[in-house]
A and B are shown apart, each in its own frame.
Chain A
Amino acid sequence: MGLIEETSAFALGNYLKERKVISREKRVSTITAYQGNNQTLQDDINVTEVRQRIRTFSQSSKDEILEALKLLSKIKEAPVIIHGAIGCSAAELYFYKEEDKNTWYSTDLNERDTIMGGDEKLKKTVERAYKKYKSKVIFVVGTPVVAINNDDINSVILELEEELDTKIISIDTDGFKTKASINGIDIVLHALGRYVIQKSTDQEKEDFINLISISENKKGIEEILRLLGELEVNVNTIPQFASIDEIKKAHLAKVSIAVNDDEADILLRGILEKSQVPSIKSKVPIGISGTSSWLEELGKSIDIQDKVTTFVTKEEKRLEKYTSKQPLLGKKIFIDLPTSVAIELIGFIEELGGEVTGISISHIDNLNRDKFKVLSKEVFVKIGDGQPFELVNILLKNKPDFYIGNTDQVGLVSKLGISPISVTNKTLYGYEGAIELIRSFQKLEKRKGFVNYLSENTKLPYKETWLKKSSNWFIKQEVK
């Protein structure tokens, strides 16, 4: 905890100068395939060169392009051009369905373009987007077709920047050089750091903090803002829900703090590197102690400890009636969420008397591996985005009472007769998020009709022989 320092993970002060951010695997030894208990995992990762494993059977998972698109869709007033075949923008329908102002373009590359190159089309699309929106920034997202063909996006951009009064930012995703989809977030944050964040000196600071939000939903951020409002802290929330001007303002802040510093790492470092704004490293504000500790870290760095202590004490008192009864006593819980969120949630489940018997997370790396040390050695850990075939195998053996995850797997979980909580549309963060979760557990206990009916009347497409096998059967050591 505390401030991000030079010594951690990799040296500061030079990575923004690089045109591309190094992939997560190479930068922080990210692992995306593993199954076993926490003890074995610890032995595995605390070595100089971590063992990479692969899946010899795999199901669909997210790629870096999806993570990049999702984040870009939440940045205001900046058109996004997906330079590739039309399917690479299909998910935009989901990401943009509630947005009124943002927009995206697909260059809709066809067979001819894959042979002759799509540069001209990209050029026309950027011009078209600029002519219509006159935005300060236009993002161009790379895709497999463009990467395999080695289309030169950067020369197109250089040429256009001479003509048009806008910053054209290349998001250097290709969809196949990393297995960690979170890399897409890194690439976007690196681009923001390099092209949007301003240089500054210490004297110019203003009275606000940067709140870095990457993937939290609106409700979650509203709760965090409520907490900061109570403490009379002025906040600049970036890059989600922010305009380019708001992101540009980041260098004037007193400090930066992320909701989830695993995801926000690159931007925290970028702002520090370019504008000397200190970045606070902290727990994720989930559950009661997680939230309090997040606020306390912030309090320390902007010198409002007393105010924080008073507020935290008041809020914790307010929540006592929910936690004192230990509503999860004797319950077994399985968590399937992004790494840092999952880890923090474990603490909260334990506060409520529950026992976390297994977790499924997308990845583990040097940025978050220390957080695992606090976990019980017996907790079962599955690493890898998606892979429901593994999940069903694990859940049948793990037999939890509840499952907490995003919506993606709730169908499968329900069919197994396990009550799921989907946090996709829940507050999750802060004290209100904690209360909402407790209420969700209470609801699940009583309202089992839907899950019971589904589990008794439906079946899953997996073979019995597979379900009897060890769940890590298809995870093998990579042959180099």
Chain B
Amino acid sequence: MQESIERNRHGCNLNGALQTITQINGVVPILHSTPGCGIQSYLSNKAGGSSTGYVNGYSVPNTNVYEKQIIFGGTSRLREQIKNTVKVIEGDLYVTISGCGAEMVGDDLIAMTQESIDQGEKAIYYKAPGFKGNEHVGYEGVVSAIISQLSCVTQVHTEKVKGLINIFGVLPKQDIYWQGNLNEIERILENIGIKTNKLFGYGQGIEQWKDIASAELNVVVSKWGRSAAEKAKEKYGTPFIQFDDIGLGADDVGHFVSEIAKKMGIETDKVEAYLENEKNKFTYALEQITEYYFEYDFQKSVAIVGDESTVIRYSKFLAKYLGLEVEVAIITDSVGEENRTEATASIKEFANEVYFSKDSSGIDKIITNGNVELILGSGLENRIAKKLDISNYIVSYPAFGKVVIGKSDVGYTGAVTLLEDLSNLFISKESNVPRNKVI
């Protein structure tokens, strides 16, 4: 039996689907669920990070089904809601999403969505009962749903565009640096002549989603992007390449870029020259902290808590470039045993112990036993940090008290940001600036 979770950091399938599609410009979600589902999502996102979205928070249409519709069925209420949403809110695509209540009483989401499509509206559906998976599953599911259904309601661009790739696996909001990370990938690949279709965030709307079919390659940057890539392969024959994560710092990013370049048939010389330059720039940055590094004793022992891709990325970077000792690595988004073996294998070299847990009190215990000097975790680790009188540098969701808009934690820019932030943290700590400040 799956266990209960103390202080869960993730919401449900519906929360995940909602926080994903609200980051696509022009997309209007229509929730078909009991009231509260939309606001649960809104409040959990508001706990930290940033607040954006075309139609977000209290603005998200919701049928707010109540007793009568739970007993007699809410299909006609949904029909009325879809009809009126189209009259009130401007949208390029309407996405009907059902929650627990609607799914349990068997309301016909598909038929109601189809009815509006028949009337010429651009609408798709996604069933997101909260008892079927968490926020990550919601991302996976809704992205796949758009890919499979969009071509049924509008003309997608199937002609291949040279040098175009799609990125799958950066989860809006769940990756607290998602905006900056997509921008950093775009920046890096642009330098070797690749155009990135980011799909989420600034300037990303339905036109970009129609372009999915015209990409030459799909790039998967976390395990959560795989199902979308598989869907695109099945539908449009687009090949894909999968990474555990994007990488941070010279070697891993170098690997990421070279592999993509190889697949896209880009000249090796050009790629190597670019990577060489980025590596030199990174080394130049790293050199600048040398004196602080030894003066303030940067060689700490740390615990890292977050999604698999985040934990892998930080473990490698901290061990390889900063000589920190990753005492414990705690992965919070695991599903199934096989996946655990893979993840463990990929960071075993950089972390002394690898754990899988979603339970905050279990995580607190692991951290305490790990006897570490620093935590890189989520806002939920603030309280154990305070108890142990050590700092918690926030790298994963939820990011209490932290606003993140442009910063990234991948690639080269992310590496320099991390060098700056960690140096500031170590120096201020040694200089007796009040402890446990959220940075």
CB within 8 Å of B: which A344-396 residues = 386-389
A86 to chain B, nearest CB (A): 5
Known A60-B42, A463-B90; judge A104-B34 contact (CB<8 A).
no
- Complex: A90 Cα to B8 Cα, angstroms: 8
Q: Which of A87, A96, A111, A463 counts the most chain B CB atoms within 10 A?
A: A87
CA distance A96 to B31 in the complex (A): 26
Interface status of A124 (Cβ within 8 A of chain B): yes
Which A36-56 residues have a C-beta within 8 angstroms of B?
Answer: 55-56
Is B235 positioned at the interface, with any CB of A under 8 Å from its CB? Answer: no
Does A465 count as interface, using CB distance less than 8 angstroms? Answer: yes
Q: In chain A between 69 and 99, which residues have their CB closer than 8 angstroms to a CB of chain B?
A: 81, 84-97
| The residue from A58, A104, A387 contacting B63, defined by CB atoms under 8 A apart | A58
Say yes or no for A272: interface residue by CB 8 A criterion. Answer: no
Whether the Cβ atoms of A386 and B131 lie closer than 8 Å is no
Chain B residue numbers with a CB within 8 Å of A175 are 34-36, 101
A450 to chain B, nearest CB (A): 15
**How far is A94 from B54 in the complex, measured between Cα atoms in Å?**
22
- What is the chain B residue whose CB lies nearest that of A390? B88
> Inside 8 A of A176's CB, which chain B residues have their CB?
34-35, 65-67, 70, 101
Nearest Cβ on chain B to A460's Cβ, whole angstroms: 9
Instruction: Give residues 90-149 of A contacting B (CB, 8 Å).
Output: 90-97, 100, 103-111, 113-114, 120-121, 124-125, 128-129, 132, 144-145, 148-149
On whether the beta carbons of B35 and A148 are closer than 8 Å, the reply is no
Q: Please judge, given known A-B contacts A60-B39, A176-B101, A386-B58, whether A110 and B66 are in contact too, CB under 8 Å.
A: no
> Once bound together, how far apart are the Cα atoms of A128 and B36, in whole Å?
28
Q: A88-B36, A121-B1 are in contact. List 8 more A-B contacts (CB 8 A).
A: A57-B80, A62-B35, A86-B8, A90-B15, A103-B6, A111-B132, A145-B104, A461-B28
* Contact indicator A148/B91 (Cβ below 8 Å): no
Cβ contact within 8 Å between A85 and B6? no
A203 at the binding interface (Cβ < 8 Å): no
A95 to B398, CA, bound (A): 12
Of the 9-residue stretches B43-51, B214-222, B270-278, which lies at the interface with chain A? B43-51
Q: In the complex, are the beta carbons of B9 and A124 less than 8 A apart? A: no
Which among A56, A97, A144 is the interface contact of B34 at CB below 8 angstroms?
A144
CB contact list, B274-333 vs A, under 8 A: none
- Interchain CB contact (< 8 A) of A92 among B4, B7, B15: B7
Chain A residues with a Cβ under 8 A of chain B: 55-66, 81, 84-97, 100, 103-111, 113-114, 120-121, 124-125, 128-129, 132, 144-145, 148-149, 175-179, 181, 386-389, 408-409, 411-412, 461-463, 465-466, 474
Which residues from 6 to 57 on chain B have a C-beta closer than 8 Å to any C-beta of chain A? 6-15, 28, 31, 34-44, 46-48, 51, 54-55, 57
Q: Select from chain B the residue with minimum beta-carbon distance to A132.
A: B361
What's the Cα separation between A144 and B69 when bound, in Å? 13
Among candidates A88, A89, A108, residue contacting B2 with C-beta atoms closer than 8 Å: A108
Given the contacts A58-B62, A93-B47, A145-B100, A179 and B35 also touching, CB distance less than 8 Å? yes
CA distance A107 to B12 in the complex (A): 12
Say whether A66 contacts B36, CB under 8 Å. yes
**Nearest chain-B residue to A70 (Cβ)?**
B43
Q: How far is the CA of A387 from the CA of B60 in the complex (A)?
A: 9
On chain A, the residues within 8 Å of B383 by CB distance are 100
Pick the contact of B59: A90, A91, A389 (CB < 8 A): A389
- Given known A-B contacts A57-B85, A121-B1, A63 and B61 have beta carbons under 8 A apart: no
Contacts A92-B7, A177-B66 known; A87 to B12 CB distance under 8 Å?
A: yes
B101 touches A148 (CB 8 A): yes
The answer on a CB contact under 8 Å between A86 and B55 is: no
Q: Could you show 30 A-B contacts with beta carbons less than 8 Å apart?
A: A55-B64, A58-B62, A60-B59, A60-B61, A62-B36, A85-B130, A87-B14, A87-B100, A88-B12, A89-B11, A89-B40, A90-B10, A90-B15, A90-B41, A91-B39, A92-B44, A93-B9, A95-B43, A105-B6, A108-B2, A111-B132, A114-B100, A175-B36, A181-B36, A386-B39, A389-B59, A389-B89, A409-B58, A461-B28, A461-B54
Measured in the bound complex, the distance between the Cα atoms of B61 and A462 in whole Å is: 12
User: Quick check: A88 and B132 within 8 Å, CB to CB?
Assistant: no
Closest to B74 in A: A176
Is the Cβ of A94 less than 8 Å from the Cβ of B101?
Answer: no
Is B34's CB under 8 angstroms from A63's CB? Answer: yes
Min distance, Cβ B272 to any Cβ of chain A, angstroms: 43
Q: Which 5 A-B pairs have the closest CB atoms?
A: A87-B12, A60-B38, A63-B36, A85-B130, A90-B11
B residues less than 8 Å from A62 (CB atoms): 35-36, 39
Partner of A87, one of B1, B13, B398: B13
In the complex formed, the residue of B with least CB distance to A409 is B58
CB distance from B438 to the nearest CB of A (A): 11
A86 touches B36 (CB 8 A): no
CA separation between A93 and B380, bound complex, in Å? 8
Residues from chain B with a CB closer than 8 A to the CB of A57 are: 61, 80-81, 84-85, 87-88
**Complex-state Cα separation, A97 to B438, whole angstroms:** 12
Q: Which of A66, A86, A125, A408 makes the CB contact (< 8 A) with B10?
A: A86
Bound-state Cα–Cα, A127 to B263, Å? 54
Cα A84 to Cα B130 in complex, Å, equals: 9
Q: Is B426 an interface residue (CB 8 A)?
A: no
Residue of B nearest to A62 (CB): B39
B377 on the A face (CB < 8 A): no
Bound-state CA distance A93–B36 (Å) is 15
**How far is B104's CA from A397's CA once the two chains are assembled, in angstroms?**
42
B61 touches A58 (CB 8 A): yes
Q: How far is the CB of B69 from chain A (nearest CB, A)?
A: 8
Which chain B residues border A88 with CB–CB below 8 Å? 12, 36, 40, 130
From the candidates A145, A177, A388, name the one contacting B67 in the complex (CB within 8 A).
A177
The answer to whether B64 and A58 touch across the interface, beta carbons within 8 angstroms, is: yes
- B238 lies within 8 A of chain A by Cβ: no
CB distance from A233 to the nearest CB of B (A): 34
Nearest-neighbor residue (CB-CB) of A101 within chain B? B383
> How far apart are A138's CB and chain B's nearest CB, in angstroms?
13
Quick check: B40 and A59 within 8 Å, CB to CB?
no
B110 adjacent to chain A (CB < 8 Å): no
- CA separation between A342 and B85, bound complex, in Å? 29
Chain B residue with Cβ nearest A100:
B383
CA distance A461 to B88 in the complex (A): 9
User: Complex Cα distance A412/B54, Å?
Assistant: 12
State whether B58 touches A66 (Cβ < 8 A). Answer: no
Q: Are B31 and A60 in contact, with the CB atoms below 8 A? A: yes
Would you call A87 and B91 a contact (CB within 8 A)?
Answer: no
A220–B43 Cα distance when bound, in Å, is 22
Minimum Cβ distance to chain A for residue B53 (Å): 10
A residues in contact with B61, CB < 8 Å: 57-60
Minimum distance in angstroms from B133 CB to a CB of chain A: 8
Question: If the complex has contacts A92-B7, A106-B5, A108-B2, are A87 and B59 also in contact, measured as CB distance less than 8 A?
Answer: no
How many angstroms from the CA of A108 to the CA of B359 in the assembled complex?
Answer: 11
Q: Is B129 an interface residue (CB 8 A)?
A: yes
CA distance A104 to B51 in the complex (A): 25
Partner of B131, one of A59, A92, A94, A114: A114
A388 touches B40 (CB 8 A): no
Q: Does B243 contact A (CB under 8 A)?
A: no
Q: Which residues of A contact B104 (CB under 8 A)?
A: 114, 144-145, 148-149
In-complex Cβ contact of A463 among B43, B51, B87 (8 A) = B87
Nearest Cβ in chain A — how far from B286, in angstroms? 34
In the complex where A94-B43, A97-B47, A132-B361 touch, is A463 in contact with B36 (Cβ < 8 A)? no
A62-B35, A85-B131 in contact; A179/B87 too (CB < 8 A)? no
Query: Could you say which of B35, B80, B400 has the most chain A C-beta atoms within 10 Å of its C-beta?
Result: B35
Which partner residue on chain B sits nearest A478 by CB separation? Answer: B68
